[in-house]
């Protein structure tokens, strides 16, 4: 029977690996639909940023209570997966608690720590379910979260609760069987949290206890493999992508907007300023700004797939706070949804990007884009350094330079900036006339 177990486990593990590998390849291709961009400068600062923001969750602690709850889940995810390594080896080699004989008392300490984290994860998930569905925290109940996003958030929390209960059930039944001297079950010493479940199982027969323990073991390992695959379809993909996403963060000051090289070079040439490293002009003039995902940087598409849908960006957005349609979170979700749509079309042999749709218009409206104040509040608030503003600016540039579709008030301001060097329509020589009037007023007093 052990050989059958091993064979079944290896087949399940291989199938999960194949599905996961195929999905990772799909995601990578979708992300690279964006334009090439290189961000490997200042590697020391990038490592530091990733360590503080992704590993250390530095920006999460702007809200202490949810940050502590999230930290428990995060640490639990990282550490409990060390136990999954033992699960995998036990499944492949047909052993049971492979590490216990080698680690001795340290194994008992480790198992108690794992159980502590499992209970912490369980409590945190229950708290997050209450925040979403009972307390109805504002940023977690916005229009863009209706339907699948809300279900996804709740589903992942329920799955994590069930997986943690499976660990505690497995440990409790395992230790009862070890105390009874059944089979190859090993007494690993007192386990604090699972010990509270003993009264539930102590009256059961040995055979039924073995069934429960094995069912909990299989449920947990299959659940972990299924969870790993499911995460790639979920907002919880940020579990993995937060690290590369923070590495490729924009390290420039928040208020510094990236100029368009095509425009900058053209202006420099008009002014007689030498253009360094100027390449030959392309045979076909490229598009100004962004209309679809292939006009965005691949880093912007990576940002979209890294979005946690936490809504901190939208909660801080002054446009959204004052009732405008703009939601930075929705912008990121729309980019991701468009990338998924195009990727699926390509895989099905369809038109891909030439499907008659585009990110601008079919997903994101001009009204949303025009509501942005370019204040960078969304960028500052994001716990994984996502940059919705860069996407908004690129799409507004397309509207202005390709469609001439900016509001008439904006066009008047642009013209004033070009001719008078300020948003107001008066000569630069008259700019300080108000100061003369102030002086006259002071002298008259």
pLDDT at 304 over 70: yes
pLDDT at site 300:
96
Domain membership of residue 142 (yes or no) is: yes
Across 32-36, 280-284, 382-386, 417-421, least confident range: 280-284
pLDDT at site 442:
78
Q: Strand runs (DSSP E) across 50-111, as ranges?
A: none
CATH number of the CATH domain containing 418: 1.10.1060
Domain membership of residue 272 (yes or no) is: no
DSSP H helices in 271-370: 298-306, 312-316, 318-321, 328-347, 359-362, 366-370
- 222 and 313: one domain? no
- 212 and 298: one domain? no
Please report which confidence band the pLDDT of residue 274 belongs to, taking 50, 70 and 90 as the band edges.
confident
Domain membership of residue 238 (yes or no) is: yes
Distance CA 89, CA 146 (A): 41
Q: Report CA torsion sign: 125, 126, 129, 131.
A: negative
Of 188, 218, 247, which residue constitutes the final position of a domain?
247
Average pLDDT value for residue range 228-256: 92
pLDDT at 246 over 80: yes
Contacts of 373 (CB under 8 A, 6+ apart): 318, 319
Average pLDDT value for residue range 183-196: 90
pLDDT at 388 over 90: yes
- 176 and 73: one domain? yes
Domain membership of residue 24 (yes or no) is: yes
Domain membership of residue 331 (yes or no) is: yes
Average pLDDT value for residue range 381-401: 94
- 69 and 163: one domain? yes
Mean pLDDT rounded to a whole number for the chain:
90
Reported as a single tens digit per residue, the pLDDT across 144-175 is 999 999 999 999 999 999 999 999 999 999 99
- 297 and 213: one domain? no
- 130 and 8: one domain? yes
Domain membership of residue 112 (yes or no) is: yes
pLDDT at 343 over 70: yes
pLDDT at 283 over 80: no
- 236 and 327: one domain? no
Reported as a single tens digit per residue, the pLDDT across 201-236 is 999 999 999 999 999 999 989 998 998 999 999 999
pLDDT at site 54:
93
- 8 and 102: one domain? yes
Please give the residue range of the domain that contains residue 81.
Answer: 2-39+49-247
Please report which confidence band the pLDDT of residue 284 belongs to, taking 50, 70 and 90 as the band edges.
low
pLDDT at 250 over 90: yes
pLDDT at site 280:
57
pLDDT at site 276:
67
Decide: 355 and 345 in contact? Cβ < 8 Å: yes
Domain membership of residue 26 (yes or no) is: yes
Please report which confidence band the pLDDT of residue 76 belongs to, taking 50, 70 and 90 as the band edges.
confident
- 196 and 319: one domain? no
Decide: 179 and 151 in contact? Cβ < 8 Å: no
- 148 and 91: one domain? yes
CATH number of the CATH domain containing 179: 1.20.950
pLDDT at 37 over 70: yes
- 242 and 320: one domain? no
Structurally, the chain folds into a number of domains equal to 2
What is residue 297's DSSP assignment?
B
Distance CA 205, CA 208 (A): 5
Average pLDDT value for residue range 432-442: 80
Average pLDDT value for residue range 100-121: 92
pLDDT at site 154:
94
- 22 and 144: one domain? yes
pLDDT at site 431:
77
pLDDT at 299 over 80: yes
393, 375, 358: which is closest to 288 by C-alpha?
393
Domain membership of residue 436 (yes or no) is: no
């Amino acid at each position: 029977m052990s050989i059958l177990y091993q064979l079944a486990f290896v087949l399940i593990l291989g199938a999960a690996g194949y599905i996961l590998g195929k999905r990772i390849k799909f995601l990578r291709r979708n992300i690279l639909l964006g334009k090439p961009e290189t961000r490997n400068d200042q590697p020391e600062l990038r490592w530091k940023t990733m360590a503080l923001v992704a590993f250390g969750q530095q920006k999460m602690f702007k809200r202490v209570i949810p940050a502590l709850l999230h930290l428990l889940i995060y640490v639990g995810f990282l550490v409990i997966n060390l136990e999954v390594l033992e699960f995998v080896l036990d499944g492949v080699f047909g052993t049971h608690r492979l590490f216990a004989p080698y680690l001795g008392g340290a194994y008992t300490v480790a198992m108690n720590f794992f159980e502590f984290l499992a209970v912490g994860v369980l409590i945190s998930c229950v708290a997050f379910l209450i925040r979403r569905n009972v307390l109805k925290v504002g940023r977690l109940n916005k229009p863009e979260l209706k339907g699948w996003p809300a279900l996804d958030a709740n589903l992942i929390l329920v799955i994590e609760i069930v997986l943690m209960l499976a660990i505690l059930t497995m440990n409790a039944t395992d230790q009862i069987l070890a105390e009874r001297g059944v089979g190859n079950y090993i007494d690993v010493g007192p386990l604090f949290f699972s010990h509270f479940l003993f009264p539930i199982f102590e009256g059961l027969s040995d055979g039924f206890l073995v069934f429960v323990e094995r069912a909990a073991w299989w449920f947990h390992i299959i659940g972990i493999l299924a969870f790993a695959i499911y995460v790639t379809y979920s907002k919880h993909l940020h579990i993995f992508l937060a690290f590369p996403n923070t590495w490729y963060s924009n390290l420039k000051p928040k208020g510094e907007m990236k100029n368009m090289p095509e425009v900058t070079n053209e202006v420099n040439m008009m002014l007689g300023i030498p253009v360094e490293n100027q390449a030959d002009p392309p045979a076909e003039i490229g598009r100004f700004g962004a209309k679809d995902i292939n006009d965005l940087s691949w880093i912007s598409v990576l940002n979209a797939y890294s979005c946690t849908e936490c809504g901190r960006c939208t909660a801080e957005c002054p446009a959204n706070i004052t009732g405008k349609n703009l939601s930075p979170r929705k912008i990121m979700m729309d980019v991701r949804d468009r990338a998924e749509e195009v990727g699926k079309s390509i895989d099905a042999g369809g038109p891909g990007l030439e499907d008659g749709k585009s990110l601008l218009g079919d997903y994101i409206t001009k009204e949303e884009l025009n509501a942005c104040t370019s204040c960078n509040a969304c960028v500052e608030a994001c716990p994984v350094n996502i940059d919705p503003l860069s996407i908004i600016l690129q799409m507004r540039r397309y509207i202005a330079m390709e469609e001439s579709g900016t509001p008439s008030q904006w066009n008047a301001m642009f013209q004033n900036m070009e001719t008078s060097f300020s948003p107001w329509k008066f000569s630069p020589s008259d700019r300080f006339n108000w100061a003369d009037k102030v002086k006259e007023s002071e002298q008259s007093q």
